[in-house]
Each structure stands twice: as structure tokens, then as C-alpha cells.
Amino acid sequence: MGPGGAEASQMQKKFEGELVSFKKLQKDLTKTTTLRSQLDGQLNENKVVKEELDLLEENAVVYKLIGPALIKQDLEEARQNVGKRIDYIQQEIKRHESGMEELEKKAEEKRESISKLQQQMQQIMLKQAQ
């Protein structure tokens, strides 16, 4: 194998490594997107609960499902808990969105790297064919 063959082999290994890394980034992005979507669902559910709690009069009786039992809960406490849950979910959504942006940026960098390696390997193959 001539010097061009060793160079092509080395480049092929680098290309395969970048491809594996790119596929992992795509998998992570899909997972993060799914989690982000689930958080949206939870946020909407909690907003509906908050709206319902806000409609209640102060002396209304509220129950919370804990396991198989309905437990009486203070209305103000229920409102605070839902509010805290909404805040937490919104923070988690922001965290997932910034994670998605980072993964997308890294994936784009890998795409560019893979494209450059493909071009370089094609040039080496053309030189070897001549």
C-alpha cells in the first residue's frame, strides 16, 4: 500500500468515527425532543388545573389523589403547589431547549466535518485512479 493508501485508510477511520458521533448526537437530539414534548403536555395539564383552581371560591373543598386515596387539601396550598409545578416545568423546558440548541449546533459541525472528509477521500481516490 502506497502513501496514498495509508492516508485514505486513516481518513476512512476518521470518517467512520465522525459518522458514529453524528448518529449519537441525532439519537440524543431525538430523546431530548421527546422529553421536551412530554414537558409541554405536563405544562398544559397543569395550566388547566391552575385555571380550574382559580375559578373556585375560597371555601371550596379540594381533594388530591395520593395513590388510590383522595386526600382533602387546602385550596391555597393546592394553588401554590400547581404554581410551583408550572414554574419547575417551564425551567425544565428552557433547559431542554438550550440542550437541543447545543446538540443541533454540534450535529451541524459534524455534518460539515463529514462532508469535508468525503470530499478529501474522493480527491485521494481520484489521485490513486490516475
pLDDT in tens for each of the 130 residues of the chain? Answer: 455 577 778 888 999 999 999 999 999 999 999 999 999 999 999 999 999 999 999 899 999 999 999 999 999 999 999 999 999 999 999 999 999 999 999 999 999 999 999 998 888 888 877 7
Domain covering 3-129 in this structure, CATH number? 1.10.287.370
Q: What is the pTM of this model?
A: 0.78
**Domain coordinates in residue numbering, the chain:** 3-129
Positive or negative, the CA dihedral 112, 114, 118, 124 is positive
Between CA 89 and CA 39 the distance in angstroms is 6
